[in-house]
Amino acid sequence: MNDTQAKVAGGHDLPAAAHPVAEVKAALTGFLTEFAAVHAELRTRQQQQEERLTMLDRKHARLSAATARPALSSGQEQGAPHRKAFAAYLRNGDDEGLRGLAVEAKGMSTLTSAEGGYLVDPETTETIRGVLHASASIRSIANLVHVEASSFDVLVDHSELGTGWATEAGPATETTAPLIDRISIPLHELSAMPKASQRLLDDSAFDIEGWLADRIADRFSRAEAAAFVSGNGSDKPKGFLAHEKVAEASWEWGKLGYVATGAAGDFAATNASDAIVDLVYALDAPYRAGAVFVMNSKTAGAVRKMKDADGRFLWSDGLAAAEPARLMGYPVLVAEDMPDIDAGAFAIAFGDFRSGYTIAERPDLRVLRDPFSAKPHVLFYATKRVGGGVSDFKAIKLLKFAVS
């Protein structure tokens, strides 16, 4: 055995053979250490990112709740499909969208329903209602109720409660039996039939809903204004001037009382304004607080020249743009459907119309498209149901241009 073999056998290291193994082990240990550090750092960053995302989600949820639209907006959004489908029906007669939305289609004519058609979209209906309310008619000062039936009943109690001063041992005053009148206001069908050419309807720039609303509102407002003043109650509302009239001294329930001017077809030659004063005080005090004068432009032109005994005008114009003119301190509604000053005419009314005249109507408006009857034009048959009548005969007084 030589010296080298003896050293190996004796357990001494061989530096040349042992160094590569140690270096590999050291390198592997260092790599694993660095990998563990990187992995830990990645996990830390991931947790931080997840926390940031969670915070963003919570912040987004808070902002969404803070900026959420009110219920009215959601209602408008829900109405948008109906409006789109209704526009398609108006332009080309396509009613599949309306049928798909389960919009109620009316059938054959009956006593309580219109003759076919579809519900007008809510925005168009509100536009029409806005025009009707803004128009100078009795509607703007009367009592307006929405009903789903074919008529509206008003119950009027004429009885007075028994009253008196009571003593500790004395008997209580017995109340009288109630005296109740029932006033029925039937609803009638009001219609309008505007027309447009199919070429105009095919133009996408043409605002079909706005055009239809303007035409319907114009027709309805003029028809209603005339009926609420002088309608005879046959297939139309009964106007307040259509009721029986008697001199104020002979007034009784079911009739309207009047005051005479003292001259046929004119005011009295002397102290002309006395008739206006008499008219005001013919109305009971509880009604005067909400009372309004009603007359047309010609009558207003004559009345506004009147002065009292001290030379002051009875008429005063409103100070603001939307404020009505006033006569003896009471508002004046200039309604052109009131009669002109003439012999025996009831040209001026004064009363609390909120108590004295009731307008009942169904809230829905329906349109039926007719492309056949007036070719090459398309007709739109619009209908609504409305009624009107005097509901308190004590609340309205009239001025008659007559000697008595």
Q: What is the DSSP string of 199-250?
A: HHHH-TTS-HHHHHHHHHHHHHHHHHHHHHHH-BSSSS-B-GGGS-EEEGGG
Which domain range does residue 269 map to? Answer: 240-359+391-400
Amino acid code (one letter) for 346: F
Residues 360, 154: contact at Cβ < 8 Å?
A: no
Lowest mean pLDDT among 6-15, 50-59, 108-117: 108-117
Task: Identify whether 227 is part of a domain.
Answer: yes
Task: Identify whether 168 is part of a domain.
Answer: no
Q: How confident is the model at residue 75 (pLDDT cuts 50, 70, 90)?
A: very low
Task: Identify whether 251 is part of a domain.
Answer: yes
Q: 4 versus 163: which is more confidently predicted? A: 163
Domain match, 228 and 87 both: yes
Task: Identify whether 169 is part of a domain.
Answer: no
Q: 21 versus 295: which is more confidently predicted? A: 295
For 81: left if phi > 0, alpha if psi spans -120 to 50, otherwise beta; the answer is: alpha
Domain match, 268 and 127 both: no
Q: In whole angstroms, give the CA distance from residue 265 to residue 306.
A: 17
Q: In whole angstroms, give the CA distance from residue 201 to residue 308.
A: 59
Tell me what pLDDT residue 163 has: 63
Burial bucket for residue 2 (CB in 10 Å: 0-12, 13-18, 19+): exposed
Which of 121-135, 152-166, 228-242 is predicted most confidently? 228-242
Written as one string, the DSSP assignment of 380-403 is EEEEEEEEEEES-TTSEEEEE-S-
Lowest mean pLDDT among 94-98, 148-152, 327-331, 394-398: 94-98
Domain match, 314 and 251 both: yes
Tell me what pLDDT residue 120 has: 59
High-pLDDT (> 90) share of the chain, %: 36
Q: How confident is the model at residue 64 (pLDDT cuts 50, 70, 90)?
A: low
**Mean pLDDT score of the chain:** 78
Residues 372, 175: contact at Cβ < 8 Å?
A: no
Once rounded to an integer, what is the mean pLDDT over residues 91-107? Answer: 53
The answer for residues whose C-beta is within 8 angstroms of residue 59's C-beta and 6 or more apart is: none
Q: In whole angstroms, give the CA distance from residue 78 to residue 86.
A: 14
Domain match, 215 and 354 both: no
Where do we find the tokens 């109720």?
145
Tell me what pLDDT residue 115 has: 43
Task: Identify whether 380 is part of a domain.
Answer: yes
Lowest mean pLDDT among 240-254, 303-317, 384-398: 303-317
Eight-class DSSP state of 305: T
Q: Give the chain's domain count.
A: 2
Q: For the segment 181-219, what is each residue's pLDDT rounded down to a tens digit?
A: 888 999 999 988 888 887 777 776 777 777 777 888 888
Q: In whole angstroms, give the CA distance from residue 61 to residue 55.
A: 10
Residues 292, 350: contact at Cβ < 8 Å?
A: yes
Domain match, 224 and 372 both: yes
Lowest mean pLDDT among 221-230, 302-311, 340-349: 302-311
Tell me what pLDDT residue 357 has: 96
Once rounded to an integer, what is the mean pLDDT over residues 269-290? Answer: 93
Q: In angstroms, what CA-CA distances link 217 with 134, 231, 251? A: 11, 19, 38
Tell me what pLDDT residue 363 has: 78
Q: What is the CATH number of the domain that holds 347?
A: 3.30.2320
Parallel, antiparallel or unpaired: strands 256-260 and 245-247: parallel
Tell me what pLDDT residue 252 has: 93
Q: 192 versus 80: which is more confidently predicted? A: 192
Q: What share of residues in the chain are helix, strand, coil (percent, to 5)?
A: 40, 25, 40
Residues 197, 162: contact at Cβ < 8 Å?
A: no
SS3 assignment, position 144:
strand
Tell me what pLDDT residue 9 has: 46
Domain match, 347 and 368 both: no
Tell me what pLDDT residue 198 has: 79
Tell me what pLDDT residue 69 has: 42
SS3 assignment, position 363:
coil
Q: Is the dihedral of CA 25, 31, 34, 39 positive or negative?
A: negative
Tell me what pLDDT residue 387 has: 95
Domain match, 295 and 200 both: no
Q: In whole angstroms, give the CA distance from residue 143 to residue 238.
A: 14
What are 118's two structure tokens? 């579809």
Task: Identify whether 282 is part of a domain.
Answer: yes
Q: How confident is the model at residue 24 (pLDDT cuts 50, 70, 90)?
A: confident
Task: Identify whether 170 is part of a domain.
Answer: no
Phi/psi of residue 195, each to 5°?
-135, 155
High-pLDDT (> 70) share of the chain, %: 68
The answer for residues whose C-beta is within 8 angstroms of residue 189's C-beta and 6 or more apart is: 114, 235, 383, 384, 385
Tell me what pLDDT residue 321 has: 64
Say yes or no to pLDDT of 111 above 80. no
Domain match, 326 and 366 both: no
Say yes or no to pLDDT of 403 above 80. yes
Tell me what pLDDT residue 253 has: 92
Task: Identify whether 252 is part of a domain.
Answer: yes
Say yes or no to pLDDT of 373 above 80. yes
The string over 36-46, giving b where at least 16 C-beta atoms fall within 10 Å of a residue's C-beta and e elsewhere, is eeeeeeeeeee
Say yes or no to pLDDT of 238 above 80. yes
Q: In angstroms, what CA-CA distances link 338 with 48, 170, 295, 322, 334? A: 80, 56, 6, 22, 9
Tell me what pLDDT residue 228 has: 95
Say yes or no to pLDDT of 60 above 70. no
Q: In whole angstroms, give the CA distance from residue 388 to residue 190.
A: 12
Once rounded to an integer, what is the mean pLDDT over residues 370-383? Answer: 84
Domain match, 152 and 83 both: yes
Domain match, 119 and 183 both: yes
Lowest mean pLDDT among 120-129, 191-200, 207-216, 254-263: 120-129
Say yes or no to pLDDT of 62 above 50. yes
Q: Is the dihedral of CA 92, 96, 100, 103 positive or negative?
A: positive
Q: What is the CATH number of the domain that holds 214?
A: 3.30.2400
Domain match, 192 and 220 both: yes
Q: 379 versus 393: which is more confidently predicted? A: 393
Q: In whole angstroms, give the CA distance from residue 91 to residue 200.
A: 9
Phi/psi of residue 38, each to 5°?
-65, -40
Count CB-CB contacts under 10 A for residue 150: 16
Q: In whole angstroms, give the CA distance from residue 279 to residue 261.
A: 9
Phi/psi of residue 323, each to 5°?
-85, 135
Lowest mean pLDDT among 161-175, 304-318, 388-402: 161-175
Domain match, 295 and 220 both: no
